[in-house]
């Protein structure tokens, strides 16, 4: 029996911009920010610049997907700032070399006026793709016409080794946990095991800031920026501090959770799906992947969506269009899921032979997204080269409160001022789950 069709998310706001794990991940070298050298691809291949699949192994797997789909492209995976500066510099110089651009929504939207309208493609050859309306609205980046084609999506979930279930609080449903139950479980497991078994990606390159931005604060406050200094946010940090006390101390070294999970150093951990999927791959029957916990305001979760755009003046727009059509085919979307654990953006029937861990991931992401009280959150939008500074606000908040044991209110007030200073310079609207305002302000 086939797995249920994977349905893309609903409820995305047009004002929302997306970034994701790639914005925080290590990236490969690129020879130049402007006149970059292409890598791979056959003679006559189109230049495909992307912020996705930057780790070498992921890039190699995606290049095979391209080859199998007969997309003749030189795939160059770069950091977000290199992506933006390359496209901008080439456009301003009147010498566009990139034919196809792939990136997170939050990276594409600020460059929307440099991309070709793709409404004709969506209404024509992709009319049967069944993208959700709100996702298509998001692709307009605040304008009146679509500037990119939705490409793929991912999210963050909790990995659980079944051995840890023996300490699950009585009456708790592991697939629908509250944050209080999550904490009680961590405490019970620590006491019974004699040492903590819950872990957290708080290493130098860990994605713990995404947990704060997309999961903790939305679940406790309903927002990310406009509720940053609220009483509910203070409660969220009090909770986080207590939860942190029950995590494996080595969590400050964990950049991803799949390695400590696979080694048995940790039995329960939250992380980006691409950073935990390897743990259950060898023995999926011993694992569960479940939605993030829910708080007083609901189940806050961060969604990551990427798109494909054609720069104005691209040397090979027809080739780019053909590449987009190929990458939008259901079988190619499924292959990207199998290889790099990014999920289809249109309604796609998942195959019976889907690998066990990937099937677990698909079920967890679907359950999380379709939860009645789900609160979809997005990474910072429109922050561009200052995205790292915004991320640092959430990182500093966590580190100073949980690791340095500083006063929660003092830290929140200081970091709120820092965040407001950045937003004052940028003068950008807020992003989900915060309400759209002309200029985003810290609340």
Task: Output the six-digit token pair for 186.
Answer: 């961590």
**What CA–CA distances, in Å, run from 292 to 101, 311, 342, 362?**
32, 37, 18, 14
**What CA–CA distances, in Å, run from 277 to 84, 206, 256?**
30, 15, 10
Cβ 213 vs Cβ 430: under 8 Å: no
Half-sphere exposure of 323 (CA within 13 A, CB side): 29
Nearest to 139 by CA among 320, 16, 313: 16
Phi, psi (rounded to 5 degrees) for 418: -65, -45
Indicate the SS3 state at residue 160: strand
d(CA 327, CA 336): 9
pLDDT given at position 363: 87
Please work out, in degrees rounded to the nearest 5, the angle formed at the alpha carbon of residue 73 by the alpha carbons of 69 and 78.
115
Cβ 181 vs Cβ 295: under 8 Å: no
pLDDT given at position 11: 39
Task: Give CA 36 to chain center in angstroms.
Answer: 26
Nearest to 181 by CA among 196, 194, 165: 165
Nearest to 173 by CA among 275, 288, 300, 276: 288
pLDDT given at position 133: 72
d(CA 48, CA 230): 44
**pTM flag (> 0.75):** yes
d(CA 257, CA 244): 15
Residues 6+ away with beta carbon under 8 Å from 326 = 69, 70, 71, 332
Task: Output the six-digit token pair for 72.
Answer: 């003749």
* pLDDT mean values, one per 10 residues, the chain (443 residues): 45 35 36 40 82 92 96 94 94 97 90 95 92 79 91 94 98 98 98 98 97 98 98 98 98 97 97 92 96 98 93 97 96 91 83 87 87 91 86 98 98 98 93 85 95
Q: Which domains are seen in the chain, by residue range?
A: 46-154+304-365 (3.40.190.10), 155-302+375-426 (3.40.190.10)
Phi, psi (rounded to 5 degrees) for 288: -130, 145
Burial class (CB in 10 A: 0-12, 13-18, 19+), 92: exposed
268 beta partners: 160, 198
Indicate the SS3 state at residue 154: strand
pLDDT given at position 134: 67
């Amino acid at each position: 029996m086939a797995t249920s069709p994977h349905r893309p998310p609903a409820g995305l706001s047009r004002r929302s911009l997306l970034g994701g794990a790639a914005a925080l991940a290590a990236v490969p070298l690129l020879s130049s920010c402007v006149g970059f050298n292409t890598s791979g691809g056959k003679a006559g291949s189109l230049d495909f610049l992307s912020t996705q699949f930057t780790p070498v192994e992921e890039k190699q797997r995606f290049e095979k997907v391209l080859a199998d789909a007969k997309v003749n492209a030189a795939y160059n995976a770069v950091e977000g700032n290199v992506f933006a500066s390359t496209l901008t510099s080439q456009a301003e110089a009147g010498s566009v070399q990139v034919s196809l651009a792939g990136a997170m929504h939050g990276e594409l939207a600020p460059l929307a006026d440099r991309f070709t309208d793709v409404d004709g493609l969506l209404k024509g050859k992709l009319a049967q793709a069944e993208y959700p309306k709100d996702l298509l609205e998001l692709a307009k980046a605040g304008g009146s016409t679509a500037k990119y084609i939705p490409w793929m999506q991912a999210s963050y979930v909790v990995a659980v080794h079944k051995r840890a279930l023996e300490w699950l609080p009585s009456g708790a449903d592991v697939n629908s946990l509250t944050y209080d139950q999550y904490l009680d479980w961590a405490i019970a497991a620590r006491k019974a095991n004699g040492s903590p078994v819950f872990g957290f990606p708080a290493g130098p390159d860990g994605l713990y800031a995404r947990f704060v931005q997309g999961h903790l604060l939305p679940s406790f406050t309903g927002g990310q920026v406009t509720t940053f200094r609220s009483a509910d946010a203070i409660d969220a940090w009090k909770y986080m501090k207590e939860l942190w006390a029950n995590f494996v101390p080595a969590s400050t070294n964990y950049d991803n959770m799949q390695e400590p999970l696979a080694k048995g150093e940790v039995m329960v951990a939250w992380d980006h799906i691409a950073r935990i999927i390897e743990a259950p791959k060898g023995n999926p029957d011993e694992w569960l992947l479940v939605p993030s916990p829910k708080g007083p305001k609901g189940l806050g979760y961060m969604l990551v969506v990427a798109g494909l755009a054609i720069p104005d003046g691209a040397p090979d727009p027809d080739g780019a269009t053909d590449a987009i059509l190929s990458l939008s085919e259901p079988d190619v979307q499924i292959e990207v899921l199998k290889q790099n654990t990014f999920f289809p953006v249109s309604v796609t029937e998942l195959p019976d032979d889907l690998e066990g861990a990937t099937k677990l991931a698909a079920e967890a992401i679907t359950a999380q997204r379709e939860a009645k009280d789900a609160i979809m959150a997005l990474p910072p939008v429109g922050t561009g080269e200052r995205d790292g500074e915004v991320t640092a606000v959430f990182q500093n908040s966590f580190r100073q409160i949980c690791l340095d044991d500083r006063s929660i209110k003092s830290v929140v007030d200081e970091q709120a001022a820092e965040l407001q200073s950045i937003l004052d310079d940028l003068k950008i609207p807020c992003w989900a789950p915060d309400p759209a305002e002309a200029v985003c302000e810290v609340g």
